[in-house]
A and B are shown apart, each in its own frame.
Chain A
Amino acid sequence: MTGPSGVGIGWRPEIAGFVADLPGLRFVEVVAEGVPASGPLPPGLTQLRERAVTVVPHGVRLSLGGAEPVDPARVGHLAAVAQRLDAPLISEHIAFVRAGGLEAGHLLPLPRSREAVDAVCANVARAQADLPVPIALEPIAALVDWPDDELDEADFLTEILDRTGALLLLDVANVHANARNRGADPLALLDRLPLERIAYAHVAGGAEYGGFYHDTHTDPVPSAVLELVGALCARQRPPALLLERDGHYPPAPELRAELDALAAAAGFPAVT
């Protein structure tokens, strides 16, 4: 189990064939809730493991930021998946996805308050107690802000990372989206985050509509996001960069070109 390195891609069943054909690939991420805890693995994943490609389970429904304690069964699933994939770490989000008995179906932001920091840290500690590997925490992209934020984004994230000892999964597209939608400077956030704690970084495409930039994962990676990858690497190059694509899959040459552009922006070898 080697840590994430170089350029990777989010493994999805729809592009399993494309991913299997990437000769230089050393690292993929898989949505943890889509991997069974027992029984056969999706065949594409088994092949990648046979090639010693690192597979990182990425949880999306743990709700670490929920006011209620995380569901031990969900933590148990993440632990089981990490074990069977021989993963060096797992990742999840600083977000909540359900409350009051309702599923949001999406990652929702927390108030940047002391109370929310306490809630996240307690849940991360609960998860860490049952996980066989370290956890990396990913800050999300959000359109809404809570009205009573006490901390700014950098202080909020740094405090959570300091108190939990967790690694950082920095999503460069989320940094772009949040800054763009608030008229803020994304570089100012990069300058204040503990970049040496990054386990790997996400990169994804998005689109502008309705006056907002949406982190869709179904559109091409915009040049502004690639430039931000360059700016991040100029400060501190993360060990790995991962392209997330979750639908409207383009023809293989276009997806390869995106991976190549990512490698070029970071100075990593091409995996295509």
Chain B
Amino acid sequence: MTGAPHGDPTAAPRAGLAERQAELVAALVAGGPPPPGFAPGPLAATRAALLRKRAGAVARHWPLLAASLGARWTTTFAGWAERRPTAGSLRDGWDLARALHAERALPPPAAEELAAREALLRYDGLRPPRPRRLPAVGRAGGAVAVQIAGRVRLLRPAPRVSTRAGDGVSDAAGSALWISD
């Protein structure tokens, strides 16, 4: 920065602002180092607030994922998202659901939601999901969903491992819904 003309209106000043804005965003959403001179307390509070807001937005796209994790939702999401910049709420939730599925930590209602999405949309984890043109089957955690002409039906619910309540009504019955995004 030495020798930069001070207060010269013809000098192009944008690089400085652009770089510093990029540093701040990276520190807030991608685990980047704190930009010099920023107070750490407000920076940490902003980072936490962004993660809460993101968790809320993802929960709206993935209601069963969020609901089935219950009180653990916000911390589970925050732990996963801390160093991952958002790819949009649909993909954030999808990536997290797949990660939990790989760890066998995806609750059955969330597995059914994931299976339905896998049947409806083609998603390679890198590019935005696109509608499938042909009939498809989606599977996750024992759940099987089938999509025909853009309509998704859950064929088989994910198995519940909880003890049987004995009332004769499967708790999966209510989740065998037509899901159309």
Interface residues of A (CB under 8 A from B): 66-68, 96, 98-106, 108, 111, 113, 115-116, 118-119, 142-148, 181, 210-212, 214, 218, 247
**Would B24 and A147 count as touching, CB distance under 8 A?**
no
A212 to B46, CA, bound (A): 10
Residues of chain B within 8 A (CB-CB) of A116 are 17
**Would A102 and B85 count as touching, CB distance under 8 A?**
yes
Residues of chain B within 8 A (CB-CB) of A218 are 56
Q: Looking at chain B, what size class is its interface with the partner chain?
A: 20 to 34
Of A102, A111, A143, the residue contacting B25 (CB under 8 A) is A102
Q: How many whole Å from B125's CB to the nearest CB in chain A?
A: 18
> 22 A-B residue contacts at CB 8 Å?
A96-B21, A99-B22, A100-B22, A100-B25, A102-B85, A103-B29, A104-B25, A104-B28, A105-B53, A108-B21, A113-B17, A115-B17, A116-B17, A143-B42, A143-B45, A143-B46, A144-B42, A146-B38, A147-B36, A210-B48, A211-B41, A214-B49
Closest to A217 in B: B53
Name 6 extra pairs, CB < 8 A, besides A100-B18, A102-B30: A66-B18, A100-B25, A104-B50, A105-B54, A147-B38, A210-B45
Task: Say whether B39 faces chain A, with CB atoms less than 8 Å apart.
Answer: yes
What are the 5 A-B residue pairs with the smallest beta carbon separation, nearest first?
A: A100-B22, A147-B37, A67-B18, A99-B21, A67-B17
Residues of chain A within 8 A (CB-CB) of B37 are 146-148
Residues of chain B within 8 A (CB-CB) of A68 are 14, 18
Interface of B is mostly: helix
Residues of chain B within 8 A (CB-CB) of A108 are 21, 24-25, 28
A181 to B41, CA, bound (A): 12
Residues of chain A within 8 A (CB-CB) of B29 are 102-105
A211 to B40, CA, bound (A): 13
Q: How many whole Å from A248's CB to the nearest CB in chain B?
A: 9
- Point out which of B19, B25, B36, B53 has the most chain A C-beta atoms below 10 A from its C-beta: B25
A99 to B25, CA, bound (A): 7
Closest to B16 in A: A115
A101 to B87, CA, bound (A): 11
Query: Contact mask B1-44 → A, CB, 8 Å, 1/0?
Result: 00000000000011011111111111011100000111101110
- Point out which of B19, B29, B46 has the most chain A C-beta atoms below 10 A from its C-beta: B46
Q: How many whole Å from B56's CB to the nearest CB in chain A?
A: 6
A142 to B45, CA, bound (A): 10
Task: Say whether B74 faces chain A, with CB atoms less than 8 Å apart.
Answer: no
